[in-house]
Structure formats: C-alpha cells, structure tokens
Structure 1
Amino acid sequence: MATESMTMKDRPMAKGKPGHLYMQTNEVKNTIVRYERRADGSLVELERIATGGAGSGVYKPISGQESAPNAFEGAASIILSPDRRFLFTTNGGDNSVSSFRVSEDGRLTLLDVQSTGNPVEGKSGTAKSLAFAPSSRTLFVLHSFGPDHLRMMTVDAEGKLKLRPDRHTVNTYSKRNRVSTMVVVAPNEELVLVGTTFDEPIAHTGFYPDGSPMLWVQRAGGAMHSIASNAPDPDGLAAFPLHKDGSLGTARFYDAKGGSPFYLAFLNKRPDTFIIGYAVGDGCSVCTIGKDGTLNIGDLVKIDTSAGVPTELCWLAVSPDDRTVYATNFGYSNICSYHINGGGLEIARDPACPKVPGDGTARGLNGTVTSGPSDSWISTDGAFLYQIYGNASKLVGYATQPDGSLMEVTSVTIPYNSPQGLAGF
C-alpha cells in the first residue's frame, strides 16, 4: 500500500479544522485526557482531569483477564451533548457517571458524579456506554452485565445528574447472562437501540493454551453452541420504544443477521439509516427504520477473513458526508473502510492502514496477537480519524484519503491497555 511505502517527508500535508479531543484513561483513578487537535491533525496533550470515579484499570471484567486491552468491551463511553455544553463519561470500575461543563476553549469543569444504581460485584463494575436524548434530557447508561443492563439519569440545565428508578434488561427467557456493548438513541428519539456481543461472558467459558478465549459452550445432549450473540439465535439487537418523558417501552429483539452486532452508527444526513459492525460476523450492514418503527436489517458485507475468524470488527466511524465508514478490527490490529453507495456497502480499502503491533501479550478471539484497537473518532470535517491501540499504548491519528485509505500523521503515548472512549469537536 502507498501508506506503507511513503515516508513522513514524502507525505502531502493534510489540512483540517483545529479542535479538541477527549479520551478517558479508565485507570483505577479515572481521568479525562484533553488534547488540542491542530489543523495538521497532530495532537497535543493539554491536561488530565480527574472524573471523581474509578475505571476498571487494565482488568477486563467480561473475561476475567488481569490485564487486557479494551478493558470493559464497550463503545461510546464518552459523549458530548448535542449543544456541546456538557461532556459525560462512564466510570466502569465503580459504576458511576461524571458530567463536565465544556467551555468554548475546550476546558472541562467537573460538575457531578453519580452512581448508576447497579452494585459492583467482584473486582470491577461494567458501566460502559452512554447515549443522550436531549428533548427529555435523559442519559442512558449501559452495563456489560445484567440483569439491569440499562439504567437512566436525568440531566438538569446545569449538568447535574439524577438517577431514575427505571431499569431494563437485554436478557431473554433463555439467555440470562448476556453481555451488551452499546446503547444508541435514534435521531428522531423514538427508539433506543442496544447492541450485544455474547450470550455468556467469556469468563464462563475459559481460554485455550495460547491465551485466546473460547467461543463455544456445551449444552445438554453434547451439542456445542456459540456464545456469540445472534449466532445462531436471531435475537441479538434490542429496540426499545422511547417515550416523550424519556421512559422506555418493552424491548423488541431483532435478528441482526450476523454474529455479535457490536456497534451501531447512524448516518449524519439520513436519520432513518444506521450501520451495524459485527464482531463475530466479520463485516458491516446498512439498516433502516421503517415509518412504523420496525427495523430492516440489510445484508452483511464481510471483509477479508483469511487471517482468521472472528476478525472482531467492532467500532465504526462514519464520515460527515456519509460516503465512507471506517471499521476497527480488534483481532487484526488495523482498520478497514467501506464506501456507502446509496442503499448498500462496498469494500473501499481492506485494510485501510498498516497493522499496528502491540507488545505481544494480548490475543484476539481468533488467536491472533493484537494491539487491541478499540474506540475511534472522526473529526467533524472528515479530515482525520483517531484510533486507540491500547496494547501498543498509542493513540494514532490518520489523514483520511478519497479512496478510503488512511495515512498516519500523528501518534501520542497513552496508558497501557485501559483507555476507552473518544469524543471531540
């Protein structure tokens, strides 16, 4: 690839709009790292602000590993309110949420820290993903483990948080230990969607001698069954009706048409359309919401899986013009890209960037040694994509290219294995 052969000196200088980027360290004493994002895409760390809560550190609750990247296996653990007045972050270690005021120059002021209401059982909690419904000022907080996967808070005009009594599950009658990954509010604020990864935590199944987790359990009668959600049982995507007061109706479970529908990303200019990234399905699909509120799940478009399955294609970033989606492959230590062509997807570049090596201690579900890439964020002008590589202790910035490829322009050192979440403007 051109991105591999070019030297830094040969690369054309990318230009975009300067701004701000935020990441949580997820260390036991959790902090938010604030970066200045310069016009050339480079990052300058400005400060670290304590959240007042605890992260899970390097410990990974869903697998029980003492140290592993993508520690609480989630997405969108940091979000900004649509008016950019407030930043919210999870504190996965103690199951709490922190709210910050965001000044015009990007500075953060801690406003409040409140428990999600779910007790911490064992070494760490699992509060992992956030979504905000501005019309009812409702903040949704998703946990890896249930039964109360989804808790809710009200955000007042000053950014203070108040826990609501509501509690919802993505468990079903036959699946009592599901692992959820991400919560999203539909742009019309009529649905709340929740993606899932596993029907049983990896910690319940164990590990192979090479350190890679087992994906199969033996059921009564001797039959082997995948613990990946929606593989094969067609119920991996939950959709809750969202009422005007922020409360939720009864969930409807959909066949997501691929294993582990991990990440949900709505398009920017088509509010009825979203992309699913499948951790075990090894690809993406385009989905729509019908006028009656039902979900229509499109065909899964897979990436090249010759390096082993599952690829753990998990996190997505949609370009502001809705032409490209960038998909992070945890198992492959890289990113691939798709072009959005009307109603479907086609591979743009696979991979879109070279593999980023880690320290050799972490393995994906397919046994591949991984640097543990997790959350990503694309700048609001679409010029730069930023990617966490936890096991490499790097946050890497790429200049986006018209063909879907990515050109590295910056790299900064971050804490080992634990960092989660990216948000900016």
Structure 2
Amino acid sequence: MVRGLRRLAVIILSLGVLASMITIGQAQEAGDNRRVTSRDEAPEGAVFAMTNETDDNRIITYSRAANGALDRIGSISTRGNGIGVDLDTQSGLELSNDQRFLYAVNAGSDDVTIFSVEGTNLTFLQKVYAGDQPNSVTIHDDLLYVLNGSVAGNGITGFRIASDGTLAPLQGSFRLLSSPIAVPGEVQFSPDGRFLLVTQKTTNVLLKPQNAIDAFRVKSNGLTSATPKRIASHGLRPFSLAFRDDGKLVVTESFNAAPFASALSSYRLTSDGGLSVISGSVPNRQTDTCWVVITDDGRYIFTANFGNGTISTYGFSSTGKIRLLDGNAAFLGTLSQPVDLALSADSRFLHLLLRGTGGVASFRIEENGSLDPLGVVTGGLPVADGASGLAAF
C-alpha cells in the first residue's frame, strides 16, 4: 500500500461484551469484545494476529470452532518492539510447517521472537537479533530466512532451526538485494527449497528492469548465491507472492495504488531460478492489491485489496493459468484496510486482518471458491495504527 492511505480516519468499532480473563503463556489480557461460540463446539484451530506496537509488540490469540467462528482468547508479548505503522509486507508472522512454533518479527527492535504453540497457548522460547528491520519470514526444512527491509541495508539473513524451534544464526548468510532502495515486500522459499524469491515494491529507477523480483539460489550448506538474479515483474509494483506445490506461483501487483488498476500474474519457476510468465497482469478492477494466499488444493487464490476494502477470488488451473472469478468476493468496508490473509490448515476457512478497524474477519470457503462471511472479531488490536501479521492452522 502507499503511505498516504495509512492516514485515513476510521470509525472505531465498540461492541462491548463481558469476557473472562484467560492466561495465555505469560499473557494477562482477555477479550472485552469477543464473538461467543457455542460451548459444544470444540476449538478446531487457532489464529494469531500481531499488533506491531512500538512499545510492546504482542500476539493476539483466537480459537476457531468447528463452524469457523473465532473467539478471542488473549495476548502475549513478543518482548520486542514493532514500528507502529504497518510493516507493508507479507509473512511477518509465520508458523512452522508442523504448527509447533510461531515466528514473529519485531521490526522496531531488530529481532525475531519464537514461541512454542500448543493449541491457542503460546510459550515464549527465544528472541534473537535478526538484522536491520526484519519484516518477513520464510521457512523450509531447518532453514529460516528473514527479509531485512531497511533502506540503509535491505537484504536477507539466514538461520538454522533447532529441533526445539529455536534459531541459530547462519554465519555469513546476509545478502544484499539487487537494488539498495528496493523497499521489499516479501521473502519466500520455493517449494523445493532451492531458491529464495524477494519482491521489490520500489527500486532504483536507473536499474533495469525497474519492476523486479530477486531470485537467490540456495546452496546445500544453507547459504545463498552471493548476488541474486534480477527478474522483471510483469506488472507494476510487485508486492507479495505465493507458491503452489508444483513450483508455479502468483505475484500481486498494486500498480502504485492507482484506482481500480491492480492485478495478479502467474509464473513458472525455471530450473535456473528464472520466472516464465503464464498469465500476465490479470486485472481484478480493485485498488492496491497487496496480499495473497493459495488454497492447499491449488485451485483458488485470494487477494486482499487495501484501497477499497475487498477480497478478490481467482481460479488457478493445473497449467498455471489464472482467471478472475470475483473481483469483489467480499466487502469489509471502505475504512477496513484489509492486510494479511491466512488459511486454516485444511483451507476450509479464510481469515483476514483488518488494520483499519482492528479486527479479524473470517469466511468459509465454499466448493466453488465463493466466500461465506462468518463475522469479524474486534478488540486487542490497535485501530488504524499498524497491526501487521496473521497466521492460522
């Protein structure tokens, strides 16, 4: 999203509902504005949202019932600091593949916090220095890489993951991006772990191509190539990306938040780390499309459109072609400012962080890819003040 949009005034929601105090790890806050679920519906999953507050970055925890409804449980401190304004990235909060550990970036204190996960219960394990302004995380096997988003030194930094989820720095792993002023949007491993891709939202106008995606080759020792391959993005201002298991991927294009100009492109990752365009800049007629997820079966793609408060749905064919199914599949309100998306482990439910109103919206994903709204849970998150990062199982 562009910075000007972040100053929008929002209407603060206040739906006061009495809630019980529940301790989460070392947390003490409990819900005062919760969606109440039937007590005979055992929690089937969990959702985690990050406040990104400057004085105390916190994780807000939610349980999810079998019908997809969320119940806000409490919060726990990362013991680090956020930056107060949204990270403007994807994957700032990331679960391990086995859902046993949660990794949270603290962009204001230059570190990453690790929690163990047991249901909705989070236990602090470690906080480790992660370079200048860490703002996105990606995991493959026992490797974790962080995206450093500072203009003073943007790049990637690697770690080894121990069996207990803690991190050890991968010595000599820091690599600069292809542009010193890239303003990166996300770092992501390819499904086979052989490459790391980084989107560049802004770049040096003297560099060609101007709109680019960096690709680093990952070596057997976990280190990457010294310099990345600089690949042209099909559309303007590539923000975030998502891979399907077969190596095909999609990249959102915000087109500098021009009204109704956003799009999505699909690519095939080649054996040498290049990108071959399959469907180029398929428009959704929405504004400032930034975040994206793909369902586990690889059939549907959902994007969050910051500028007009909507979700778009695309179909994803076996060949990698994409087509717009519904540009306005869900409308959350013009001041909702939708940011991060997260799917349940079985891809039955979609969750969306609403930065503008300080809530998390939930949807049931129907067989045809349409979205059935399940409500919005508010409370605990800052309103129009930088909440960034969402994870779910």
TM value normalised by structure 1: 0.75
CA distance in 1, matches of 2:373, 2:42: 14
CA-CA distance at 1:80 after TM superposition: 1.3
1:91-141 C-alpha deviation (Å, 9 max, x unpaired): 1111110011122x34211110011133xxxxxxx321001121xx22211
CA-CA distance at 1:300 after TM superposition: 2.0
Identical columns (%) = 25
1:275 aligns with 2:250: yes
CA-CA distance at 1:84 after TM superposition: 2.0
1:312 aligns with 2:326: no
CA-CA distance at 1:297 after TM superposition: 2.4
Q: Is the 8 A contact 1:25 1:31 kept in 2?
A: yes
Q: Is the 8 A contact 2:352 2:361 kept in 1?
A: yes
Residue in 2 that maps onto 1:289 = 269
1:356-375 equivalence runs, <5 A: 356-358=333-335, 371-375=336-340
Instruction: Give the counterpart letter for 2:174 in structure 1.
Output: R
Q: Is the 8 A contact 2:341 2:351 kept in 1?
A: yes
1:36-115 equivalence runs, <5 A: 36-57=63-84, 59=85, 71-103=86-118, 105-115=119-129
CA-CA distance at 1:55 after TM superposition: 0.9
1:168-219 C-alpha deviation (Å, 9 max, x unpaired): 12243xxx3220010001111100110111127xxxxxxxxxxxxxxxxxxx
- How many pairs align? 340
1:138 aligns with 2:118: no
- Name the CA shift for 1:17/1:338 in 2 (closer, same or farther; >3 Å): farther
Q: Is the 8 A contact 2:263 2:284 kept in 1?
A: no
Instruction: Give the counterpart letter for 2:235 in structure 1.
Output: G
CA distance in 1, matches of 2:77, 2:144: 21
CA distance in 2, matches of 1:87, 1:139: 12
CA distance in 1, matches of 2:193, 2:272: 14
1:248 aligns with 2:228: no
1:340 aligns with 2:347: no
CA distance in 1, matches of 2:186, 2:214: 11
CA distance in 2, matches of 1:396, 1:337: 16
Instruction: Give the counterpart letter for 1:73 in structure 2.
Output: D
Residue in 1 that maps onto 2:19 = none
Q: Is the 8 A contact 1:116 1:151 kept in 2?
A: yes
Which of 274, 282, 290 is the aligned partner of 1:302? 282
Residue in 2 that maps onto 1:157 = 163
- Name the CA shift for 1:106/1:389 in 2 (closer, same or farther; >3 Å): closer
Residue in 2 that maps onto 1:26 = 52
CA-CA distance at 1:288 after TM superposition: 1.1
Which of 180, 186, 199 is the aligned partner of 2:184? 180
CA distance in 1, matches of 2:274, 2:110: 32
Q: Secondary structure of 1:73's partner?
A: coil
Q: Is the 8 A contact 1:353 1:405 kept in 2?
A: no
Q: Secondary structure of 2:201's partner?
A: strand
CA-CA distance at 1:16 after TM superposition: 12
CA distance in 1, matches of 2:45, 2:220: 34
- Gaps of at least 5 residues in structure 2 are 1-40, 256-260
CA-CA distance at 1:408 after TM superposition: 1.5
Which of 173, 193, 198 is the aligned partner of 2:202? 198
Instruction: Give the counterpart letter for 1:24 in structure 2.
Output: M
Instruction: Give the counterpart letter for 1:398 in structure 2.
Output: F
CA distance in 2, matches of 1:32, 1:333: 23
TM value normalised by structure 2: 0.81
Q: Secondary structure of 1:298's partner?
A: strand
Q: Is the 8 A contact 2:290 2:306 kept in 1?
A: yes
Q: Secondary structure of 2:356's partner?
A: helix
CA-CA distance at 1:304 after TM superposition: 4.4
1:275-313 C-alpha deviation (Å, 9 max, x unpaired): 1111217211221122344321223243343x7xxx211
1:399 aligns with 2:376: no
CA distance in 1, matches of 2:80, 2:332: 34
- Name the CA shift for 1:131/1:246 in 2 (closer, same or farther; >3 Å): same
Residue in 2 that maps onto 1:169 = 176
Instruction: Give the counterpart letter for 2:373 in structure 1.
Output: E
In the TM superposition, structure 1's runs of 4+ consecutive aligned residues that sit over 4 Å from their partners are none
